[in-house]
Chain A
């Protein structure tokens, strides 16, 4: 067991967790709350959060594989960013920043970028808002003004 790598993973997840916390803060407060509290947020949003976390953990894992992340960066022409891979897989603060940034990018991609937003689960929508409806309370009364007298013949079978 490599304790330094476990240390890096913990900082990576801490960075990811702080982004969750930031989103949760805005998610439970007005104007458009999606949950009634932090626990309710965890209950309502667990699927998109965990899918994002799983994908990000794979990306972080890939960065530890020698040569793989460098090749991917080189494919996009970002060879000068190869040193970022080394920094992220060696320094805990950089791993935390990477986790936080990666989660914010994935969050943006899930909600804004076409095709991706159709593939990955979305965050839940706003809770139904309380609406104030004013209605007039009307009391209807009926006043008797006169009596009408009518005469009818009751059939003999009905009286038995």
Chain B
């Protein structure tokens, strides 16, 4: 469950990062970190949740 929350959070962060011009690099990297964390915590990524 926490991996899904992290993935949604990463998506929201990526959307927020793109509001800047040019896009905010720190928020972009934070979004990527959340995505990777969601992969790790999901147990082989989100594969364990979605298939």
Interface residues of A in 140-156 (CB under 8 A from B): none
**Is B40 an interface residue when CB atoms closer than 8 A count as contact?**
yes
**Which secondary structure dominates chain B's binding surface?**
helix
The docked-state distance in angstroms from the alpha carbon of A50 to that of B28 is 8
Q: Are A65 and B47 in contact (CB under 8 A)?
A: yes
CB of B25, distance to nearest CB on chain A (Å): 5
How distant is the Cα of A6 from the Cα of B41 in the complex, in angstroms? 8
Q: Which residues of A contact B8 (CB under 8 A)?
A: none
Separation of A6 and B40 alpha carbons in the complex (Å): 6
Q: For the complex, what is the distance from the CA of A1 to the CA of B44, rounded to whole Å?
A: 8
Give the tally of cross-chain contacts (CB within 8 A): 42
CA distance A61 to B44 in the complex (A): 7
Q: How many residues of A contact B (CB 8 A)?
A: 18
> Counting CB contacts under 8 A, is B9 at the interface?
no
- For B45, give its contact among A10, A42, A43, A61 (CB under 8 Å): A61
Say yes or no: B36 contacts A64, CB within 8 Å: no
Count of B interface residues, CB-CB < 8 Å: 15
Partner of A5, one of B23, B28, B44, B51: B44
Closest residue of A by beta carbon distance from B31: A50
Q: Is the CB of A57 within 8 A of B43?
A: no
Q: Are B44 and A13 in contact (CB under 8 A)?
A: no
B29 to A61, Cβ gap below 8 A?
Answer: no
**CB pair A1 B36 closer than 8 Å:** no
The A56-105 residues at the B interface (CB cut-off 8 A) are: 57, 61, 64-65
* 22 contacts across the A-B interface (CB closer than 8 A): A2-B44, A6-B40, A9-B36, A9-B39, A10-B40, A42-B25, A42-B29, A43-B25, A46-B25, A46-B28, A47-B28, A50-B29, A50-B32, A53-B32, A54-B32, A54-B35, A57-B35, A57-B36, A57-B45, A61-B45, A64-B45, A64-B47
